[in-house]
Amino acid sequence: MFPVFHLAYEGAVIQLTSGCGTVATMRRLGLCAAALLVVGCGDRGSVTFNLKAPENPLFNPVLQPELVSEYDIRTATGMVIGVASAVQGSAQGESGLLPLGALMPGASAEDVFVTALSGGNLLGMARIRDVVIQSGKKAAYDAELRKPLIFVGSTLPAEINTGNRTTSVQILDPVASTDLARASSSPPIVAGGMTAGATSWDGRFLIVAQGTTLTAFDNGFGRNVSGSYTLPFAPSRLLVAPRDTAIVALDPGMSGAIAILSDVAGFAASPGGASPKIVNLTGAVARTAAFSPDGTKIYVLTGGPSADPCSPGAMPAANAIQVFSLDGSSIGSFALGGFASDIAVDPQSGMIIIADVAGKQISTLDVASGVTSPVLGSLTCPSAVRVVNGVIFAVTSDRDTSLPNAFVLKRIPLKGGAAVVATAFQGPQYEIPIDSTPSPNGNIQTATLPVRPVSIQAYELAITPDGSRAQFATRAHYKEVNTKFTFSQEDCTANFDIIEYGLYAVDLRTGNASYAQRSKLVQSPAGGTKCVDCSITIFGSTQHQYADCDSVAGDRPAGLAASFGQ
């Protein structure tokens, strides 16, 4: 499926097969030096990582090889195996076979992460299972480099509006800051849309749910694989286990089930042949879930996906984390002290990170001892949490008081010992049009009454593997009950309940944030009429002026999935 990109040098092809193992196809003298080094290594052995690129050039992270400064090879635990310089002009960067130097032999097979960097910027990644580095042994591993893409699907909001409709899947490329699905020529399309999604551990596939239909999108060719499987429910979430050992789909319905499909590669090769195991939760509905680092346990947070714990007056009941093995057997549960909105698992320590709304904190749960410890406190509705490279990312309803309408995403190292980094992002704004007469010169136009939300909930969050970008889907709530204010010397009363869905992108290096509104749905007053009532008394007669609140039909973002990220 992925062709090996041989070197494009002219001249005679030299095929070298050495006693120590490296087989290389080389076409110029410069490479012979590296080859001779390999030949001359006697019985010490070698390990070669053959990097490949996706077929579709839009998905190729090293389409411009001159941008690559180095290839970084690490174990899954973060230990450096080797770094190869790819800078053009350097001794290494001139050839296609870049030396990593002597490697430390290991006693057992380990998973390895390959990263292509341009200076400090992540261009692409690859994950390889079960790499063995042994003295006197030769080995070669194919690594499929892929971009750290973020996929964003679309589903209908629970708030009914006749004009609501879903949109096509976005394929966001953080490196180029573009949406590949909206490229000018031959854009890749996730056929049928996506209501829930997750990327495979090796980055090769996007597992896609469209309603009850489950299929896969190939990130190499940029198209759906053939075939699909129909689940007995339309999943609210999909997850792929580390090392691609399983796919899990969460049922949002009252029956409270999860479907476990083993073997991601097998599913992608033949989705129609899937045979999922359906497991019923004990008296609960799944809200979200996460896998243990080794991919053998599923931690399911109960509480249902629809509860918005950040909404004013919301007090959802305490939920729990139920634990299952991949064969579906229940192997325990952790009762939580109050309602938690989200969980994530630290790939290094295996600890569960909990967005504890009731406790107004982010806490860790040691699965071995069952002990929870606060990491970050005094938070207003921490609704979404992820942990990448040992750093916790939490979206909160905390306000940045230095700005008129801004909320805060917080970051803190899991191990502590450093200050909290707070990144403000401008809150959404609802504008109520007020009748007014434009000024004669046209500079002063129709007036609007800007309203900021009373709460914001991030119901899905994706972080790129280098922790440089956060993408999150939000549900903002505008709610005023008999709120009095003065507008243009008139006494006004506001009564409305409006839900807004949108999508944020935050560059965590610069703090720049962008927001795309997806829908604004007026729940009350009915029809949106008379949401603001202003009155003025003239000569004893009270005149009323009303403002209406209009809905903007649309969708809500769903199925956020970051390749190699969380």
Partner 1 sequence: MRAALVLTLLCATVAHAEETRRTVAVLEYRAGAKGARDIGMRLARLLRETAAVNVIDAAEARRRIPKVDGEVAKCGGEAMCVGVIGEQLGANEVLLIGVSQLGDLIIALQRIDAKRGEAGARMAESLPIDAEIKDEQVLGWLKQLFPPETFRRYGSIAVDADQAGASVTLNGEASGKTPLGSAIKVRAPATYKLRLEKSGFMPFQARVDVLPDANVEVHATLVRESKDAAWYKRWYVWAAIGGVLAAGGAATAIYFGTRTESTPLGFVHRP
Pairwise CA distance, residues 250 & 276, whole Å: 12
Nearer to partner 1, 102 or 254 (CB): 102
Instruction: Verify binding: residue 488, partner 1, rule CB under 8 A.
Output: yes
Instruction: Verify binding: residue 447, partner 1, rule CB under 8 A.
Output: yes
Number of neighbouring beta carbons within 10 Å of residue 317: 10
Instruction: Verify binding: residue 232, partner 1, rule CB under 8 A.
Output: no
Q: Which stretch binds partner 1 (CB under 8 A): 77-85, 278-286, 455-463, 470-478?
A: 77-85
Pairwise CA distance, residues 67 & 46, whole Å: 27
Handedness of CA 502, 553, 499, 208 (dihedral sign): negative
Q: How far is the CB of 319 from partner 1 (least distance, A)?
A: 28
SS3 at position 519? strand
The closest of 421, 417, 419 to 409, measured between CA atoms, is: 421
Q: How far is the CB of 180 from partner 1 (least distance, A)?
A: 19
Nearer to partner 1, 85 or 296 (CB): 85
Nearer to partner 1, 323 or 506 (CB): 506
Helical segments of 260-387, H only: 264-269
Q: How far is the CB of 345 from partner 1 (least distance, A)?
A: 23
Q: How far is the CB of 443 from partner 1 (least distance, A)?
A: 6
Nearer to partner 1, 176 or 418 (CB): 418
Q: How far is the CB of 187 from partner 1 (least distance, A)?
A: 23
Helical segments of 261-412, H only: 264-269
Instruction: Verify binding: residue 332, partner 1, rule CB under 8 A.
Output: no
Instruction: Verify binding: residue 531, partner 1, rule CB under 8 A.
Output: no
Instruction: Verify binding: residue 547, partner 1, rule CB under 8 A.
Output: no
Pairwise CA distance, residues 51 & 126, whole Å: 9
What angle (nearest 5°) sits at the alpha carbon of residue 108, between those of residues 102 and 109?
85
Contact with partner 1 (CB under 8 A) among 49, 233, 501, 504: 49
User: Both tokens of residue 52?
Assistant: 């490949």
What angle (nearest 5°) sits at the alpha carbon of residue 38, between those of residues 36 and 39?
60
Contact with partner 1 (CB under 8 A) among 58, 125, 128, 133: 133
For residue 424, the cross-strand partners are 408
Instruction: Verify binding: residue 515, partner 1, rule CB under 8 A.
Output: no
Contact with partner 1 (CB under 8 A) among 58, 68, 214, 357: 68
Contact with partner 1 (CB under 8 A) among 450, 509, 512, 527: 450
Binding characters for partner 1, 103-122, by CB under 8 A (x = yes): xxx--------x--------
Nearer to partner 1, 158 or 420 (CB): 420
Number of neighbouring beta carbons within 10 Å of residue 60: 20
User: Both tokens of residue 155?
Assistant: 């589903």
* Residue pair 319/302 in contact by the 8 Å Cβ criterion: yes
Contact with partner 1 (CB under 8 A) among 58, 76, 81, 122: 81
* Residue pair 415/348 in contact by the 8 Å Cβ criterion: no
Q: How far is the CB of 444 from partner 1 (least distance, A)?
A: 6
The closest of 559, 518, 555, 558 to 156, measured between CA atoms, is: 555
Nearer to partner 1, 98 or 343 (CB): 98
Contact with partner 1 (CB under 8 A) among 89, 101, 120, 283: 101
Instruction: Verify binding: residue 520, partner 1, rule CB under 8 A.
Output: no
Instruction: Verify binding: residue 205, partner 1, rule CB under 8 A.
Output: no
Q: How far is the CB of 562 from partner 1 (least distance, A)?
A: 23
Contact with partner 1 (CB under 8 A) among 28, 32, 48, 552: 48
Instruction: Name 180's Cβ contacts closer than 8 Å, sequence gap at least 6.
Output: 58, 59, 149, 171, 172, 173, 187, 188, 222
Nearer to partner 1, 82 or 557 (CB): 82
Nearer to partner 1, 108 or 402 (CB): 402
HSE toward the beta carbon, residue 558, CA cutoff 13 A: 27
The closest of 75, 68, 60, 111 to 92, measured between CA atoms, is: 68
Contact with partner 1 (CB under 8 A) among 71, 151, 291, 496: 71
Instruction: Verify binding: residue 15, partner 1, rule CB under 8 A.
Output: no
Contact with partner 1 (CB under 8 A) among 79, 176, 371, 418: 418
Instruction: Verify binding: residue 162, partner 1, rule CB under 8 A.
Output: no
Q: For the sheet containing 178-179, what is the strand order?
A: 178-179, 170-173, 150-155, 556-562
Q: Which stretch binds partner 1 (CB under 8 A): 18-26, 146-154, 234-242, 258-266?
A: 18-26
Q: How far is the CB of 404 from partner 1 (least distance, A)?
A: 5
The closest of 220, 270, 214 to 240, measured between CA atoms, is: 214
Handedness of CA 432, 437, 442, 444 (dihedral sign): negative
User: Both tokens of residue 460?
Assistant: 């899905």
Nearer to partner 1, 57 or 273 (CB): 57
Instruction: Name 105's Cβ contacts closer than 8 Å, sequence gap at least 6.
Output: 133, 134, 135
Contact with partner 1 (CB under 8 A) among 117, 123, 125, 145: 145
The DSSP line for 193-257 is --SEEEE-TTSSEEEEEETTEEEEEETTTTEEPS--EE-SS--SEEEE-GGG-EEEEE--STT-E
User: Both tokens of residue 5?
Assistant: 């990109």
Q: How far is the CB of 97 from partner 1 (least distance, A)?
A: 5
HSE toward the beta carbon, residue 236, CA cutoff 13 A: 25
Contact with partner 1 (CB under 8 A) among 9, 14, 50, 333: 50
Contact with partner 1 (CB under 8 A) among 11, 89, 283, 416: 416
Instruction: Verify binding: residue 34, partner 1, rule CB under 8 A.
Output: yes
Instruction: Verify binding: residue 402, partner 1, rule CB under 8 A.
Output: yes
Pairwise CA distance, residues 303 & 290, whole Å: 15
Contact residues: partner 1, CB under 8 A: 4-5, 20, 22, 24, 34, 37-38, 41-53, 60, 62, 65, 68, 71, 73, 81-82, 84, 86, 96-105, 114, 133-138, 145, 401-402, 404, 415-420, 422, 439, 441, 443-444, 447, 449-450, 487-488
